[in-house]
């Protein structure tokens, strides 16, 4: 079988594949959260003959609140950077993601099924109207669950960090220009950042919004060089200058944090 491992603060791991006798040494590009079940491993090779393995984990419960054990910069400021993600809401500068709770995903699946059934019904019929009502109810329930989840998540972040750094994204413009449609809005990023904003104020903490054109994805967080030909489909950043290999979103979150902290200290000094 595949392998099991202790993942806390792990940067290297050993992989055991069913048909290979030797263990393969892995270099992890993202921290593996504890408590997950390994569902699959996909192996690929790039043009330069480097092997990559993509691991899929499943988690029962959503990620716990950010721990009190947060990193501080050299001036004792507890800071975190968040990179907006369609898949996870965000990836943070520690390589962690915010996952919507499982029940929420299940409700979404249920909603899709109800809608499918509706599409097969005769418009205007009694059954059709009843089904429509059911769907509207579920919509409300899901919206309430999402609000509740975002509320707790933003509270925890605003409470634990002195400085939270995000990109200043215009969600409406983004949805239109990237043809991402509803998904960008659905992930709740706009609502989440508004919650962060007033909760940070409440705790006397700071939400720093960095310029949306800041090249957070295209800058190597290790050596600072830039890779302008990075495309949206490049999930891994492979630095041609220093050899750094890191998950694209994780690196973006690190850069957002660094830039946000720079702006924060500049503001404090003024
Ligand atoms: Zn580099």
Same domain for 1 and 96, yes or no, is no
Report pLDDT for 172. 64
In terms of domains, do 86 and 168 share one? yes
Structural domains in the chain (count): 2
Shared domain for 179 and 208, answered yes or no, is yes
Q: Find the mean pLDDT for residues 116-132.
A: 93
Task: Say whether both 56 and 166 belong to one domain.
Answer: no
Whether residue 133 is contained in a domain is answered as no
pLDDT at 181: 53
- Find the catalytic residue in 162, 249, 258, 259: 249
Co-location of 4 and 93 in the same domain:
no
129 noted as active-site residue: no
For residue range 207-258, what is the model confidence (pLDDT) as tens digits? 999 988 899 999 999 999 999 888 878 888 889 898 888 899 999 999 999 9
Is 28 part of any domain?
A: yes
What is the rounded average pLDDT for all residues in the chain?
82
**Range with top average pLDDT, 10-19, 63-72, 169-178, 201-210:** 201-210
Residue 228 is encoded by which pair of tokens?
Answer: 């302008």
User: Both 197 and 249 in a single domain?
Assistant: yes
User: What domain range includes position 81?
Assistant: 64-100+161-269
Residue 258: HSE in the Cβ half-sphere, 13 Å Cα cutoff: 15
Round to whole Å and give the CA distance between 209 and 211. 7
pLDDT of residue 186: 61
Q: 73 and 189: one domain?
A: yes
Residue 264 has pLDDT above 90, yes or no: yes
Do 29 and 247 contact (CB within 8 A), yes or no?
yes
Looking at residue 158, its pLDDT comes to 96
**Ligand 1 center from residue 237 Cα (angstroms):** 9
Higher-pLDDT residue of 96 and 12 is 96
Q: Both 32 and 73 in a single domain?
A: no
> Residues 35, 96: one domain?
no
Given the residues 83, 96, 162, 259, select the one marked as catalytic. Answer: 83
Q: Report the interhelical angle of 126-160 vs 102-119 (nearest 10°).
A: 160
167 assigned to active site: yes
CA separation for the pair 38, 5 (Å, rounded): 10
Contact by Cβ (8 Å): 235, 248: yes
> Which of 34, 60, 86 is the last residue before a domain boundary?
60
- Note whether 7 and 39 are same-domain residues: yes
Give the confidence band of 63 by pLDDT, cuts at 50, 70, 90.
Answer: very low
**Mean pLDDT along residues 67-94:** 81
Answer with the residue of higher pLDDT: 179 or 253: 253
Tell me, yes or no, whether 11 lies in a domain.
yes
Spatial contact of 7 and 33, defined as CB atoms under 8 Å apart: yes
Residues 186 and 265 in one domain: yes
Radius of gyration of the chain (CA): 21
Q: What is the pLDDT of residue 28?
A: 75
Helix (H, G, I), strand (E, B) or coil at 40: strand
Structure tokens, 68 = 């009190």
What pLDDT, on the 0 to 100 scale, is given for residue 7? 37
* Half-sphere CA count of 155, side-chain side, radius 13 A: 8
């Amino acid at each position: 079988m595949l392998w099991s491992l202790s993942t806390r603060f792990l940067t290297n791991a050993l992989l055991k594949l069913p048909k290979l006798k030797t263990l393969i040494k892995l270099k992890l590009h993202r921290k593996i959260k504890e408590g997950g079940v390994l569902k699959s491993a996909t192996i690929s090779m790039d043009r330069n003959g480097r092997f990559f393995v993509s691991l899929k984990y499943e988690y029962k419960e959503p990620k716990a609140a950010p721990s009190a054990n947060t990193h501080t910069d050299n001036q004792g400021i507890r800071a975190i950077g968040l990179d907006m993600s369609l898949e996870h809401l965000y990836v943070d500068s520690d390589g962690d993601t915010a996952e919507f709770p499982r029940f929420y995903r299940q409700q979404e699946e249920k909603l899709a099924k109800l809608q499918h059934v509706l599409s097969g019904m005769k418009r205007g019929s009694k059954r059709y109207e009843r089904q429509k009502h059911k769907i509207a109810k579920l919509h409300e329930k899901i919206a309430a669950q999402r609000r509740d989840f975002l509320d707790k998540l933003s509270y925890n972040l605003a409470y634990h960090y002195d400085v939270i750094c995000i990109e200043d994204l215009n969600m409406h413009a983004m949805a239109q220009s990237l043809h991402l449609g509803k998904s960008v809005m659905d992930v709740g990023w706009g609502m989440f950042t508004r919650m962060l904003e007033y909760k940070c104020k409440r705790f006397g903490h700071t939400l720093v919004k960095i310029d949306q054109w800041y090249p957070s994805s295209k800058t190597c967080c290790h050596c600072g060089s830039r890779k302008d030909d990075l495309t949206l489909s490049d999930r891994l950043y492979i630095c041609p200058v220093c050899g750094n290999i890191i998950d694209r979103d994780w690196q973006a979150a690190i850069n957002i944090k660094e830039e946000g902290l720079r702006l924060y200290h500049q503001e404090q000094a003024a």
